[in-house]
C-alpha cells in the first residue's frame, strides 16, 4: 500500500469540457436507511459506492434486510417499519460515517435487544450527545462513553412523540429525530435552525409520510406523524455538490479553463459554496435545472476567474456550505484583500478539526491567517498567489476532505506536496483521482 502521494506539478489548463461526479452521499445513505423501512423492494440508481455508504449498507444487512449492490443500481428489500431482526450482542460499525452513526441511533429506537454502535478513530472522537439527548426523550435508553462511541442503545415499541428544538443547524440531528418519529405513534414537532432538507423532501415526496413543513426566515417548523406504512419506491440519485466543489475550485483557479459539471444536486440548502464563490466574483452558472421529487438538480458551468474579491461573510450561509469551507478558505488565499468568516465551531466537530486544519494548511503555505473570536477566521489573500516549497500533510485522521483539499491546493497553487494516507478519499469520492487525471493532473 502506497504511504503517500506526491504532487509536483500544477494543472495549468482543464482538459475536458464536462464531467459527472458520483451520487450524493447524504441522499445515498438516506436511501439505504429509509428504503429498509418500506414494505418491499426499492431501487436506487447512481448510488454512491464509497466507504461511508458501504458502512450504511453493511449495517442495514446486519439487521436482516437484503441489499443487492449491482453495477448500475442498488436494490433494498424493505421489511417494514418494525421488520429488523435484532440479534443478541449485535454490534454495528459505522466506520468513518457520522451520518450513518447518528441516523442508526434513531432507526434503532425500537430495538428489543441492546445494540452497540462503534466507529473508527475519527468517529470515536465525535459528539453523539446531540442525537442521544432527543432520542432519550422518545424513550430509548443509551449507555455511552460521555456522549462518544461506543454507545449501546436499547429501544422500545412504546416510544412517545416529542417536541424538539434543534439549535445546532445540524441536518443529522434533525433527521435523527424525524426518523425516530416514523416509528412513534402521534405527532413529533421539531423547531430547527436551517440545514440541508433532504430528509424532509424524501418524507414528503417519496415516502408519503404525513409531514408539515413551515420554513420561517430563521428556522423551520416540522411535524411528522408516525407509524404510517411506507410503500416501496425508486430513486435516481443526482451528483454530489460536495464532490463537484473540488473541480469547481480547481477550474476557477486554473487559467483559461471552463468546465461543466452535469446533473448535480443544487438544492438551495446545499449551494452555499456557489453563492459564496459568486460573491467573491467567480464565474459560475447553474442551468438545465429540474425538479426531481422536490430536489433541484442541474448542470454547473464554471470558468477560470482571475480577479477574485475578498469577502466578509456573516453566518447565514454556513450550514449550506458546511462541508466546503476548506475550499472556500483556499479560494480566499487567492483573492485580493482580507476575507473573514464567523461562527464556524461546527467545522471543528467534523471528521477532523477542519477549522484548525484549514488554518494550519494556509499557514504552511505562508498565508497570513488569524483565528478570531466566535470561532471565526481571517485570511489575507493575494491575487497572484503561488507557492513553491515542500509541503507535507499527515496525521489528519484520514479526513477525506483534508486529503482532497490538499490535492486541489497542490494542483492549483503549485509546490512539492507529499500527502499521506492516500486512500482517505474513498470515504466519499472513490473516483476522485481518476477524474482529476482525466482533467489533466498526473497523479499515480
Ligand atoms: C450531513 C449533514 C452535515 C454534513 C455531513 C452530512 C447529512 O452534518 O456535514 O457531511 O447527510 O445530514 P451536520 O448535519 O452535523 O452539520
Q: What is the pLDDT of residues 109-144, one digit of tens each?
A: 999 999 999 999 999 999 999 999 999 999 999 999
Question: 180 pLDDT band (50/70/90 cuts)?
Answer: very high
Nearest to 172 by CA among 98, 246, 112: 98
Say which of 110, 299, 323, 421 is annotated catalytic: 323
Residue located nearest, by CA, to atom 9 of ligand 1: 323
- Domain ranges (residues) in the chain: 4-22+239-438, 25-227
Q: Which of 128, 196, 245 gets mutated to test ligand 1 (max ligand atoms within 8 A of its CB)?
A: 196
Place of cell 447518528: 102
CB 60 near ligand 1, within 6 Å: no
Instruction: Tell how far the Cα of 75 is from the centroid of ligand 1, in angstroms.
Output: 24
Question: For 311-362, how does the pLDDT look when each residue is reduced to its tens digit (9 = 90+)?
Answer: 999 999 999 999 999 999 999 999 999 999 999 999 999 999 999 999 999 9
Q: Which CATH number fits domain 4-22+239-438: 3.65.10.10, 2.40.110.10, 1.25.10.10, 3.40.190.10?
A: 3.65.10.10
Residue located nearest, by CA, to atom 11 of ligand 1: 26
CB 171 near ligand 1, within 6 Å: yes
- Cα angle 113, 119, 125 (rounded to 5 degrees) comes to 120
Domain boundaries 25-227, corresponding CATH code: 3.65.10.10
Q: Is pLDDT of 245 > 90?
A: yes
Place of cell 449485535: 90
Active site residue 110: no
Instruction: Tell how far the Cα of 99 is from the centroid of ligand 1, in angstroms.
Output: 6
Is 331 within 8 Å of 304 (Cβ atoms)? Answer: no
Q: Is pLDDT of 443 > 80?
A: yes
Cell numbers representing residue 269 in the block: 440548502
Task: Please give the number of the atom of ligand 1 that sits closest to the Cα of 169.
Answer: 16
Amino acid at each position: 500500500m502506497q504511504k503517500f502521494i506526491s504532487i509536483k506539478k500544477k494543472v495549468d489548463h482543464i482538459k475536458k469540457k464536462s464531467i459527472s461526479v458520483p451520487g450524493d452521499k447524504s441522499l445515498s445513505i438516506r436511501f439505504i436507511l429509509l428504503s429498509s423501512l418500506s414494505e418491499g423492494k426499492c431501487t436506487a440508481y447512481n448510488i454512491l459506492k464509497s466507504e461511508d455508504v458501504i458502512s450504511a449498507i453493511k449495517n442495514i444487512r446486519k439487521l436482516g434486510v437484503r441489499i443487492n449492490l449491482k453495477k448500475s443500481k442498488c436494490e433494498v428489500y424493505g421489511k417494514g417499519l418494525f421488520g429488523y431482526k435484532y440479534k443478541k450482542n449485535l454490534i454495528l460499525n459505522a466506520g468513518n460515517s457520522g451520518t450513518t452513526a447518528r441516523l442508526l441511533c434513531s432507526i434503532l429506537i425500537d430495538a428489543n435487544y441492546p445494540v452497540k454502535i462503534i466507529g473508527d478513530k475519527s468517529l470515536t472522537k465525535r459528539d453523539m450527545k446531540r442525537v442521544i439527548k432527543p432520542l432519550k426523550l422518545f424513550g430509548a435508553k443509551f449507555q455511552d462513553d460521555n456522549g462518544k462511541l461506543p454507545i449501546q442503545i436499547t429501544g422500545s415499541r412504546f416510544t412517545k412523540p416529542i417536541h424538539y428544538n434543534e439549535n445546532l443547524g445540524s441536518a443529522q440531528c434533525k433527521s435523527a429525530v424525524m426518523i425516530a418519529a416514523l416509528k412513534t405513534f402521534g405527532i413529533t414537532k421539531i423547531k430547527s435552525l436551517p440545514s440541508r432538507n433532504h430528509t424532509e423532501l424524501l418524507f414528503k415526496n417519496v415516502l408519503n409520510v404525513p409531514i408539515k413543513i413551515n420554513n420561517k426566515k430563521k428556522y423551520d417548523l416540522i411535524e411528522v406523524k408516525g407509524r404510517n406504512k411506507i410503500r416501496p419506491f425508486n430513486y435516481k440519485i443526482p451528483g454530489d455538490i460536495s464532490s463537484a466543489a473540488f473541480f469547481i475550485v480547481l477550474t476557477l483557479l486554473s487559467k483559461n479553463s471552463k468546465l461543466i459539471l452535469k446533473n448535480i444536486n443544487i438544492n438551495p440548502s446545499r449551494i452555499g459554496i456557489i453563492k459564496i464563490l459568486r460573491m467573491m466574483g467567480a464565474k459560475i452558472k447553474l442551468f438545465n435545472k429540474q425538479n426531481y421529487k422536490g430536489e433541484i438538480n442541474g448542470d454547473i458551468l464554471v470558468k477560470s476567474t482571475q480577479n477574485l474579491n475578498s469577502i466578509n461573510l456573516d453566518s447565514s450561509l454556513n450550514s449550506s456550505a458546511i462541508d466546503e469551507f476548506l475550499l472556500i478558505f483556499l479560494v480566499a488565499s487567492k483573492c485580493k484583500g482580507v476575507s473573514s468568516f464567523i461562527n464556524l465551531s461546527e467545522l471543528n466537530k467534523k471528521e477532523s478539526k477542519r477549522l484548525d486544519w484549514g488554518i494550519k494548511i494556509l499557514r504552511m503555505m505562508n498565508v497570513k491567517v488569524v483565528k478570531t473570536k466566535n470561532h471565526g477566521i481571517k485570511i489575507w489573500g493575494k491575487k497572484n498567489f503561488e507557492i513553491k516549497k515542500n509541503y507535507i500533510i499527515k496525521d489528519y485522521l484520514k479526513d477525506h476532505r483534508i486529503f482532497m483539499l490538499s490535492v486541489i491546493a497542490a494542483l492549483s497553487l503549485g509546490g512539492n506536496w507529499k500527502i499521506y494516507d492516500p486512500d482517505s478519499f474513498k470515504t466519499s469520492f472513490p473516483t476522485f483521482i481518476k477524474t482529476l487525471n482525466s482533467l489533466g493532473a498526473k497523479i499515480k
